[in-house]
């Protein structure tokens, strides 16, 4: 093989490898594009879901607002922690039973927590607004931005009618299960007792032995 043929063969191999690399590169771009599109679709769907379940915050003044039609007052806004858009996303109807709502920031995420008024008999001592500084010190990032809302229309949570019914039903089922288990155990015990062989009495055994004994008579042979 002369030098020209070697050069042509090497060139063909190089072109083949270059073609393969180009194909892989294009395929990689296509896959990355697909992943990006799926990710964007997921984010869009998530945004739509958040928007569908988000609360409505209407500002009436810099400190007065309506959240889902109920009045609140912004009592403290430390380091501009209050943001309407994030509050709409994070607010939950369960917070309406508290006298105060505290929102604090950590890792670009807003966290909401409810507190009761000072001297209230509701909740635990740690849920009193008097313990706010303890909460910020123990559970929040040092110097984090936060805000405090006062609820002017505290809602009383309605008791669930199904709760007592479910408890009674559960108690009834447990009682029924215990009865069934005891009945099964009793039936099994009775079957075992009936099928179990009873020991024979000594009297019966002695009589049988006597009846079965054979009598032997010794006869003398005539000489």
Most distant CA pair in the chain, distance:
149
**Strand boundaries in the chain, DSSP class E:** 57-59, 64-67, 70-78, 100-106, 109-115, 146-151
Do 63 and 35 belong to one domain? no
Residue finishing a domain among 7, 37, 53: 53
Asked whether residue 204 carries a pLDDT value surpassing 90, the answer given is no
Distance CA 160, CA 147 (A): 32
Domain that holds residue 44: 16-53
Do 125 and 111 belong to one domain? yes
Distance CA 89, CA 85 (A): 7
Mapping DSSP to helix (H, G, I), strand (E, B) and coil, where does residue 39 land? Answer: helix
* pLDDT tens per residue across span 17-45: 778 777 777 777 777 777 888 887 776 76
The answer to whether 126 touches 135, Cβ cutoff 8 Å, is yes
Do 72 and 35 belong to one domain? no
110: β partners: 105
Closest of 140, 137, 136, 119 to residue 128, by C-alpha: 119
Does residue 90 form part of some domain? yes
Distance CA 25, CA 31 (A): 10
**What is the number of domains present in the chain?**
2
Mapping DSSP to helix (H, G, I), strand (E, B) and coil, where does residue 59 land? Answer: strand
* CATH code for the domain in which residue 131 is found: 3.50.4.20
* pLDDT tens per residue across span 142-197: 899 999 999 999 988 776 555 555 555 556 666 666 666 666 555 555 554 545 55
Tell me which H or E stretch contains 149.
strand 146-151
The answer to whether 74 touches 147, Cβ cutoff 8 Å, is yes
Do 70 and 136 belong to one domain? yes
* pLDDT tens per residue across span 94-124: 999 999 999 999 999 999 999 999 999 999 9
Mapping DSSP to helix (H, G, I), strand (E, B) and coil, where does residue 124 land? Answer: coil
Q: Residue 90 half-sphere exposure, CB side, CA atoms within 13 Å? A: 18
Do 33 and 104 belong to one domain? no
Share of the chain above pLDDT 90, in %: 43
């Amino acid at each position: 093989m002369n030098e020209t043929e070697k050069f042509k063969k090497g060139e063909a191999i190089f072109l083949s490898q270059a073609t393969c690399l180009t194909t892989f590169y294009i395929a990689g771009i296509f896959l990355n594009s697909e992943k990006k599109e799926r990710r964007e679709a997921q984010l869009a769907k998530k945004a739509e879901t958040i928007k569908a379940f988000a609360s409505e915050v209407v500002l009436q003044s810099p400190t007065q607002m309506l959240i889902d039609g109920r009045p609140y007052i912004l009592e403290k806004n430390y380091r501009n922690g209050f943001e309407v858009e994030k509050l709409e996303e994070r607010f939950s109807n369960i917070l309406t039973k508290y006298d105060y709502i505290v929102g604090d920031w950590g890792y670009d995420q807003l966290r909401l927590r409810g507190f009761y008024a000072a001297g209230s008999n509701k909740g635990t001592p740690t849920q009193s607004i008097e313990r706010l500084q303890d909460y910020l010190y123990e559970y929040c990032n040092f110097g984090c931005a936060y805000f405090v809302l006062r609820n002017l229309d505290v809602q009383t949570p309605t008791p669930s009618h199904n709760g007592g019914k479910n408890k009674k039903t559960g108690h009834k089922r447990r009682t029924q299960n215990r009865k069934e288990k005891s009945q099964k155990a009793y039936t099994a015990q009775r079957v075992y007792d009936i099928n179990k062989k009873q020991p024979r009495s000594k009297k019966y055994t002695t009589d049988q032995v006597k009846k079965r004994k054979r009598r032997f008579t010794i006869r003398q042979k005539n000489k």
